[in-house]
Structure 1
Amino acid sequence: MGDYYNGSSDDQYCDRVCDDDGEDSVDGLQDPELETDFSCCSKGPSCMVIRKESLLAAQKEYLQRVMDLLSLKEHHARTLLIYYRWDVDRVFNVFADRGKAWLYSAAGLSVRSSEDLNSSQSSDEVTCQICFEDVHANESTIMDCGHCFCNNCWTEHFIVKINEGQSRRITCMAHECYAICDEENVRNLVSGRDPHVAEKFDRFLLESYIEDNKKVKWCPSVPHCGNAIRVECDEYCEVQCACGVQFCFSCSSEAHSPCSCLMWKLWTKKCQDESETVNWIKVNTKYCPKCYKPVEKNGGCNLVRCVCGQPFCWLCGGATGVSHTWNSIEGHTCGRYKEDELENAERAKKQLWRYSHYYNQFKAHTDSLKLEATLQDRLQQKIVILEAKNLESRDFSWVTDGFNRLFRSRRILSYSYPFAYYMFGDDLFKNAMTQKEREIKQNLFEDQQQQLQANIEKLSMVLEQPFADWEERDVLNTRLQIIALSTVTDNLCKKLYDCIESDLLAPLEEATHSIAPYRSMGVEKASEFP
């Protein structure tokens, strides 16, 4: 049994049963359902699913807090929150620090009583300063800022702004007036002219709660499930929507820790473009001056011929005739050979090999992850067989716990290779470390990475064994092995994250490379909005 523990004692780990039944996914693969209460905030769940039918209730929850504090109407509270990107705490802080007048002025909010507005419109006839038509007062509208124009001009103004996508903050038509128009007036005037545009206006206001709110994001599922996710704590986190899609809340791409968002963006683009392969081709081939196809030289002579029949000089790429000797091409000279061409070729080859190493490791573990996802059904069959044997121990949760630990840890291991590619390369941190510091930190990271990989492979091997057909004693030994390996693997994942956060990223003070914290129970499943 000691072979499975990577040097850890049996007594230390055998009695520590993993309580993980969480879930992770890669490329659309789903885990078993996670039913665990996560909380990084004392107020309750750290993330919630907001469905289409609960979007209005979620928005009104924020609106009510501002309405209660400042004694505002709902549309005034919405104007404030849209300007402050639905950050209620920021609204409260500005109110406390600078006062109500500054808070309102910055957001373009004018709050005047209906008596004040009515008194400013003393006559029964109004001259619109936009179209210069005289209209009855009933055919004009005065906004909170005190400016009054005819309903026809207001309506045209509103429809244009809504169709241009500016409906969340429609300003007054008056010159140099930046007050936000009352949404009730906008809705009433536009609905009389074009109900479809009025519906668009209401939809924009409703969706502003998601699209202008840094704490809320649409689920990136394709096709779109229609859900949004709201987080209560750090935006650098990974969450799972009710539809099963797991994603990074910061960048809305697939869950990718321990890669930072920028690293993952660069990595995916690099894999898609195969940029290093293209770079190598550029250095090791020349383009035909006639058909522009890349040509690779396979002999010593510097006069080469493209498949299209065009001869050209390998040294400079210029078109030539066909007459030549071993040393020169008749009627053609192209100067001296440059040493930097050889250096560029060697550099490109080295970069290609480095990229290939990390890509092959990443691909191998993501492929293993896909194959191991099919292990779940086989393990369920083993549990059924074990339950039918009426063994002394009837709790076989250690089987699913071991699978979940394998799945989560394999995923982390696979993403650690793109992290290492950028952490110890020249793309992002070329001048952040000396060569000696880079070597020391890389060795430290790779030692922990390899320990994690070794234990993951052992755990995978044990789970693949046909232990359901074994005697009870052998089943119990397998149980101890899986529990111990799960615990060791969990600890190694924690150590790898600690190394990344404390030893590698923290000294660089790079806020753009913050990563989602390690969660032993896996990516958090968002709870339902009440």
Structure 2
Amino acid sequence: MQVPWSPALEGAAQGRSAILAGSPGRRSSGRIGLSRQIVVGGVRDESECQDEITATISDLLSIPRGFAAAFLRHCQWDPEHLQNEWFSDEGRRIRSAVGLLTTSPAAGRHAITVPTALNDMPLTCAICFDAYAPGEMRSAGCSHYYCHGCWRGYVHVAVTDAGSGCLLLRCPDPPCRVPVVRELVDAVATGADRARYATFVVRSFVEEGTSRYVRWCPGPRCALAVRSRPGSGAYEVACRCNHVFCFRCGEEAHRPSSCDTTRAWVVKSTSEGETAKWVLANTKHCPKCKRAIEKNLGCNHMTCGAPCKHEFCWICLGSWKGHAGGYYRCNVYMANPSEFDEETTRREQAKASLERYLHYYERWCAHGASMKKARQDLDGLQGGGLDRVAEEMGRQPTEMDFLLEAYAQIVEARRVLRWTYAYVYYLDPERDEVKRRFCEYLQGVAEESLERLHRCAERKSDDEEGEAEVAFKFEEYVPKLSNLTRVTRSHFAKLVEGFESGLAEVVS
């Protein structure tokens, strides 16, 4: 579904963005110009959007909103698809699919035109078998009436036990397929059940819709939905909870690494495959039973575990009985070591591969930890720490926004640097050697600029020793830190641009 982006929605989105940028207790923090889009979302926002789309379809087709919502769910919340379906055969096919009558039963006494119609004559409830006066029973839009108490219990069981299946609830009469829609739920259910039902409607809108512009924030303990504006070109978004993620794949923001590379790296860094590779690189197989053995002491005299108990030399893998030397050296001359060449080569290759992986993994983790710490520092400043710093310096808090900009830049730069290591890891070690060297050059320049900025933000000197405390003068510090922020932003923008272009200038 492409969410209709009307001028009204455009204005609403801009208004919500303003709310995010200046939400209570937080000042606006700058971003580093990498097509980052701050996106405002949330259950309430998406509920409003869903209501607006439903109202538009209701007015267009002259049908109750509950039925309009049922049609939209059937069409995966795609209003264009719904309109095509409706006008192709005057709605007969989609009415039948949803469960509404395809022809009006106007000839009958109980022809229903609304999904919450009250009975106009005394009737007996088909569930509790009590008699009710006119106006005390309701219908889902068919000719089957039930009392409010039975409807209330019916809806309660659905929203409690069926979960999102409550949106597919039908008339209690077994042969009847008429849907129970929002208006009827609101008319008969308790407040708690109405709230649960509304939550399932929003979940349906976000999860079942074909829209590429709405999805749940994957941040820990976050229950907000996030919407990206169509045509913005941005695919890294920031939720209200401060979690920044890729709108395409749902992983944490990972520029300049592609979504495919990121998925592969995440799987690799969390899988047991690397454990197996470590075993291959750091163990040898018993020559007799072929079980993997790790050498954990200095002695070369190895004894395989029960029931094998084979004794052999760790260095040459020969039987220990044939050794005349001491326990800590092997003096057996291998006249023809060809039988061990294949295993030795395989082991050395595995060890080299593991060392290469660990080189990038350790740096990926290190920048991740630094990013987390910088994020905590930024949150601390936004949560009141900035006011204390301003007070210490005899300044107004509004004069300290440059410090927030610097820390926001540090957080973002750490994130970018982190994912450059995943990017470089998947370059071919032989074919992409020149590209790898250029990547490392860009990494070095950007990282040097970042470290200079980080030291300055923490009020440390950036001289060669890096230990003398800065004579802290506000008038000198502001332009210095602001300039370092701009320089770092420029370096990282060039780094991202180069990596995402595939380093075409190097290849060509």
Give me the TM-score of the superposition, normalised by structure 1: 0.60
The partner residue of 2:348 within 346, 350, 361 is: 346
Establish whether residue 47 from structure 1 lines up as the match of residue 39 from structure 2. Answer: yes
Establish whether residue 266 from structure 1 lines up as the match of residue 264 from structure 2. Answer: yes
Question: Does the CA-based 8 Å contact 1:276-1:348 persist in structure 2?
Answer: no
User: What residue in structure 1 maps to residue 322 of structure 2?
Assistant: 325
Cα distance in 2 for residues equivalent to 1:300 and 1:469? 58
Question: Does the CA-based 8 Å contact 1:190-1:197 persist in structure 2?
Answer: no
Question: Does the CA-based 8 Å contact 1:280-1:349 persist in structure 2?
Answer: yes
User: What residue in structure 2 maps to residue 357 of structure 1?
Assistant: 359
CA shift for structure 1 position 201? 5.7
User: What residue in structure 2 maps to residue 295 of structure 1?
Assistant: 294
Q: Superposed, which structure 2 residues align to 1:356-375 within 5 Å?
A: 356-372=358-374
User: What residue in structure 1 maps to residue 408 of structure 2?
Assistant: 404
User: What residue in structure 1 maps to residue 439 of structure 2?
Assistant: 445
Deviations 1:286-307 (A, max 9, x none): 5779997743498998x84135
The partner residue of 2:48 within 57, 61, 65 is: 57
Structure 1: gaps spanning 5 or more residues: 1-22, 25-30, 122-137, 328-335, 427-434, 506-530
Counterpart secondary structure, 1:217: strand
Counterpart secondary structure, 1:343: helix
User: What residue in structure 2 maps to residue 245 of structure 1?
Assistant: 243
Counterpart secondary structure, 1:469: coil
Counterpart secondary structure, 2:51: helix
CA shift for structure 1 position 470? 4.5
Question: Does the CA-based 8 Å contact 2:32-2:409 persist in structure 1?
Answer: no
Compared CA separation, residues 236 and 402, structure 1 to 2 (3 A): closer
Question: Does the CA-based 8 Å contact 1:219-1:227 persist in structure 2?
Answer: yes
Compared CA separation, residues 83 and 259, structure 1 to 2 (3 A): farther
CA shift for structure 1 position 363? 2.3
Structure 2: gaps spanning 5 or more residues: 1-19, 112-133, 325-337, 462-468
Question: Does the CA-based 8 Å contact 2:156-2:193 persist in structure 1?
Answer: no
Compared CA separation, residues 172 and 373, structure 1 to 2 (3 A): closer
Cα distance in 1 for residues equivalent to 2:343 and 2:34? 55
Counterpart secondary structure, 1:337: helix
Establish whether residue 417 from structure 1 lines up as the match of residue 421 from structure 2. Answer: yes
CA shift for structure 1 position 235? 9.1
Establish whether residue 228 from structure 1 lines up as the match of residue 222 from structure 2. Answer: no
User: What residue in structure 2 maps to residue 209 of structure 1?
Assistant: 205
Counterpart secondary structure, 1:446: helix
Counterpart secondary structure, 1:486: helix
Question: Does the CA-based 8 Å contact 2:159-2:166 persist in structure 1?
Answer: yes
Question: Does the CA-based 8 Å contact 1:62-1:88 persist in structure 2?
Answer: yes
Deviations 1:146-184 (A, max 9, x none): 9999999xx999978994553434589999x99773537
User: What residue in structure 1 maps to residue 466 of structure 2?
Assistant: none
CA shift for structure 1 position 358? 0.6
Question: Does the CA-based 8 Å contact 1:280-1:345 persist in structure 2?
Answer: no
Compared CA separation, residues 104 and 395, structure 1 to 2 (3 A): same
Cα distance in 2 for residues equivalent to 1:190 and 1:291? 71
User: What residue in structure 2 maps to residue 465 of structure 1?
Assistant: 460
Compared CA separation, residues 384 and 159, structure 1 to 2 (3 A): closer
CA shift for structure 1 position 417? 1.3
The partner residue of 2:70 within 73, 76, 79 is: 79
Counterpart secondary structure, 2:240: coil
Amino acid at match of 2:412: R
CA shift for structure 1 position 227? 2.9
User: What residue in structure 1 maps to residue 131 of structure 2?
Assistant: none
Which stretch of the first structure deviates more once superposed, 450-459 or 160-169? 160-169
Cα distance in 1 for residues equivalent to 2:32 and 2:94? 38
Deviations 1:460-498 (A, max 9, x none): 2333336873568xx53x544433332222122222222
Amino acid at match of 2:108: N
CA shift for structure 1 position 276? 2.5
User: What residue in structure 2 maps to residue 104 of structure 1?
Assistant: 94
User: What residue in structure 2 maps to residue 33 of structure 1?
Assistant: 27
Compared CA separation, residues 410 and 103, structure 1 to 2 (3 A): farther
Cα distance in 1 for residues equivalent to 2:487 and 2:392? 28
Deviations 1:16-68 (A, max 9, x none): xxxxxxx99xxxxxx96326899999xxx97332245x664342112112222
Compared CA separation, residues 451 and 149, structure 1 to 2 (3 A): same
Counterpart secondary structure, 1:118: coil
Question: Does the CA-based 8 Å contact 2:238-2:245 persist in structure 1?
Answer: yes
Compared CA separation, residues 195 and 51, structure 1 to 2 (3 A): closer
Amino acid at match of 1:346: E
Compared CA separation, residues 40 and 253, structure 1 to 2 (3 A): closer
Counterpart secondary structure, 1:407: helix
CA shift for structure 1 position 355? 0.8
Amino acid at match of 1:48: V
CA shift for structure 1 position 451? 1.8
Question: Does the CA-based 8 Å contact 2:386-2:400 persist in structure 1?
Answer: no
Cα distance in 2 for residues equivalent to 1:157 and 1:405? 50
Cα distance in 1 for residues equivalent to 2:171 and 2:341? 67
Percent identity (aligned) = 21
Counterpart secondary structure, 2:339: coil
Q: How many corresponding residue pairs?
A: 429
CA shift for structure 1 position 362? 1.5
CA shift for structure 1 position 352? 0.6
CA shift for structure 1 position 279? 1.0
Query: Larger relative CO (CA 8 A, sep 6+): 1 or 2?
Result: 1
Question: Does the CA-based 8 Å contact 1:76-1:109 persist in structure 2?
Answer: no
Amino acid at match of 1:104: I
Counterpart secondary structure, 1:229: strand
Cα distance in 2 for residues equivalent to 1:368 and 1:486? 17
Cα distance in 1 for residues equivalent to 2:343 and 2:107? 78
Counterpart secondary structure, 2:255: coil
Give me the TM-score of the superposition, normalised by structure 2: 0.62
CA shift for structure 1 position 425? 4.7
Deviations 1:169-220 (A, max 9, x none): 4589999x997735379859997xx999898666533431233234333333
